[in-house]
Structure 1
């Protein structure tokens, strides 16, 4: 058989394969790929496997059923594509209708209506008597959806390549930094840098939330802290604040401040830990995975809570958004046990991060400890005594007490941590302790209507500097300037004195 004959035979084989399934599979792929492309810098491609597998299997089953009913594979493809569209659009349609309608609409009302409309459209396609028109609709739809898929796949490719390069770089440096011996390390103090995520300023809590947090301010000052009551951050996004803190300068050299992968790279290989390591510091990172699982900071010690149980939650944030989009949404209560299980793991994780701060006596001094505590930021999982709250309130910003109770719980734990740390050191030679929030409470749904626009920039900023005269400090010192101040006063001066 000649090459030409082989190609002809292959073409005949292809013509014998029904292609009606292509349209529903393409349509089912699009919303998943689109969502992934919009979140490519914070999710992993492995998270595509489960939803794509389910979507493809479901669309093929629909195609097979409607093809048998109509005895036309292309007609079955168009009808099943209609049902797939309604399946993925359900959540958006429900939210839109409930937003514009005064009716007290429930899923038990809206779901049957949605299925009826999809079935009605499918019925008219099934009885259509113009095969040529149907063929054209099929072809145009396939091309249009394929084009949309390509448009969303194209930006995914460079992002995945960048992720791969970051992974290779992190693997080659996975042992962390090696402590140096440049300075007179015996004269260097231990430094604890603790960031409380979304902890509001004293002023914001007083004026916006009606909560007097002066007890915490008095506690800090009684322990020798300087409290910068009017401190403001440069940014309100954690993924921008953290690299600016750890590199001790504003983030201005990026083409896009929201380039998440580049920002994570700046966290992983940051200037603060490199500089302090050269001076003989042991570097420690706590809780960095709460910011992003992609963070693999180059420190001598890394502490992140690792769940070793076999009961892994398959509904993560990415998958949950997909569930919320679809007709599965009315049945989301099925996942309640997994949600509760996930909340328990989150509680253990947050408590682990807090406790670990007081358990570093075996880490060689001088040490630089950077801890990012995802509190009082949502999910809301503690009341003011540390007890569980209703899982339905994990993102409830409308009830002010939910956020406040988690903030109070956080405050009490920080006070215990400060007392514990100070007891571990001589009274006349305490460690440096920096307590800051990355940003204040942001404009979440349910918050914006009663919170001024600039409140998220107002932050908690308090620090204990031993044998330091606070008189020259302003109470509006930005968080980003505190660590350079510490290094200049305690490290660089020591090096200069030893050089003299």
Structure 2
């Protein structure tokens, strides 16, 4: 026992554990988006850098004091994001970089000076405390990882699919705003799409709204048929985006239909349990650098204030995407979007021995603005305009072309059906790049058109919001007694 206590009091295990704890904590927070395979390459880099600093500072001096000081440096580096947010909660002025960075530097320098002169008995006590504390946190996160990996019980459907069970096509067109908003803010008459829906017996909820102005939270709310429960504030950040994406992966509606005997075809940008790998992706979930480092001091400095300084290219690229990486990513999304268009048609024309649920997520008419109104591909330099008026013009142009996709796909799905088909054509939120000072409620004005094969729309209503979409469908077609929720909106600053 004395040997154990002596080791815990004299060996800086905490220096090895802190980087690993940081990454394991990300694994718990974002499981299953953040996987163990990311850990090894990243944690090895942290160990190499920490080891070099430790060696250089310990050649001549207090070995134990240097280890404690390096722990403080690690702590401020890895957890700068949460520290800054905590301070900002009480005082925004104290959380400014012009104040917080000098305070951290002075504090770290003072700690270095003080620890070099600290008595050995004090440093041993600090060793003992830090080793026990960090190990305890590590064990808690390991339990969290195990808990996340436990298989949850899927929802049990009362209805089991038969030969007359309807196929379901759930098509999301990202950022498509409602026709009334197009008329009032763009002076654009969108009657071509409204007339198409009416002619083909769709129900169009003309005063529909999304419940959130963010893609992953909106889709999570739709697929879980309820309001998102993990909002810690009113700001959309990277952590919230990733947590909502994880909620989508484990969501209720896909699990329900799979249990009911449906084949669930995932043609989206999100992973979903029990389904195929999604063919699409999104910048938030593609950027592994950001995934791992978004809370760190280095990432925040480069991202938030780096433009004030001449940062070496290698340092910028270590934390953030280069312009070349961004262009390559946008080209990949373009290819994926075109592929999805063809895949929907192929699936609709196919014949299956069980009913299908098709979830397709088009990143249109959302930016990047690839197309003009005729479908002509625009120069890559024009895909992401900076000025608000240019963004609005290109958005409208791409929306006009998106209308052609919607009409073509809906017509194809209707005419190729071998069994009854439910078609939901919806947007996750409306347009969001309005001029500063515009009504934030405009961001919730969405597209919402639904086709029922029996054309009985008594349970739908003009102001229905996205959260109630599958509550109506499960009640009408699958004998689930689900009450409707209040049609509310939750604005998230972005």
1:214 aligned residue (190, 210, 220): 190
- Counterparts of residues 16-415 of structure 1 (less than 5 Å): 19=11, 21-29=12-20, 31-40=22-31, 42-68=33-59, 70-85=60-75, 87-88=77-78, 120-121=109-110, 124-125=113-114, 128=116, 130-132=117-119, 136=122, 139-140=125-126, 143-144=129-130, 147=133, 150-151=136-137, 154=140, 156-166=141-151, 182-183=162-163, 185=164, 190-205=167-182, 210=186, 212=188, 214-215=190-191, 216-221=193-198, 223-233=200-210, 242=219, 245=222, 250-251=225-226, 264-267=249-252, 270-272=255-257, 274-275=259-260, 277=261, 283-288=263-268, 290-291=269-270, 293=271, 295-297=272-274, 302=276, 304-305=278-279, 315-322=288-295, 325=299, 330=311, 331-333=315-317, 335-336=321-322, 337-360=324-347, 361-364=349-352, 367-373=355-361, 375-376=363-364, 380-385=367-372, 386-387=377-378, 389=380, 399=388, 401-402=390-391, 405=394, 409=398, 412-413=401-402, 415=404
Is contact 2:79-2:295 (8 Å) kept?
Answer: no
> Structure 1 residue 333: deviation in Å?
3.5
Task: Note closer, same or farther for the CA distance 1:118–1:342 as it changes in structure 2 (3 Å cut).
Answer: farther
Distance in 1 (alpha carbons) for counterparts of 2:50 and 2:383: 32
Where relative contact order (Cα < 8 A, 6+ residues apart) is larger, the structure is 2
Distance in 2 (alpha carbons) for counterparts of 1:141 and 1:357: 60
Give me the CA root mean square deviation.
Answer: 5.4
Q: What secondary structure is seen at the aligned counterpart in 2 of 1:304? A: coil
Is contact 1:193-1:434 (8 Å) kept?
Answer: yes
Which protein has the larger Cα radius of gyration, Structure 1 or Structure 2? 1
TM-score when normalising by structure 2? 0.65
CA deviations over 1:173-216 (Å, ceiling 9, x no partner): xxxx9x97744x4xx76542212344333345555x64636254
Q: What secondary structure is seen at the aligned counterpart in 2 of 1:192? A: strand
Distance in 2 (alpha carbons) for counterparts of 1:219 and 1:237: 28
Is contact 2:208-2:447 (8 Å) kept?
Answer: yes
> Structure 1 residue 366: deviation in Å?
7.7
Q: What secondary structure is seen at the aligned counterpart in 1 of 2:171? A: strand
Q: What secondary structure is seen at the aligned counterpart in 2 of 1:463? A: strand
Distance in 1 (alpha carbons) for counterparts of 2:45 and 2:66: 19
Task: Note closer, same or farther for the CA distance 1:245–1:77 as it changes in structure 2 (3 Å cut).
Answer: closer
> Structure 1 residue 53: deviation in Å?
2.1
Q: What secondary structure is seen at the aligned counterpart in 2 of 1:52? A: helix
- Counterparts of residues 420-459 of structure 1 (less than 5 Å): 420-423=409-412, 426=415, 432-440=422-430, 450-452=437-439, 454-455=441-442, 457-459=444-446
TM-score when normalising by structure 1? 0.64
Distance in 1 (alpha carbons) for counterparts of 2:65 and 2:477: 76
Distance in 2 (alpha carbons) for counterparts of 1:83 and 1:92: 15
39-48 vs 348-357, greater mean Cα deviation: 39-48
> Structure 1 residue 235: deviation in Å?
5.8
Task: Note closer, same or farther for the CA distance 1:90–1:470 as it changes in structure 2 (3 Å cut).
Answer: closer
Is contact 1:231-1:459 (8 Å) kept?
Answer: yes
Is contact 2:210-2:445 (8 Å) kept?
Answer: yes
Distance in 1 (alpha carbons) for counterparts of 2:39 and 2:279: 25
Number of positions where the alignment pairs a residue of Structure 1 with one of Structure 2: 436
Note the residue ranges of structure 2 that are not aligned, 5 or more in a row: 233-242, 304-310, 480-494
> Structure 1 residue 47: deviation in Å?
2.9
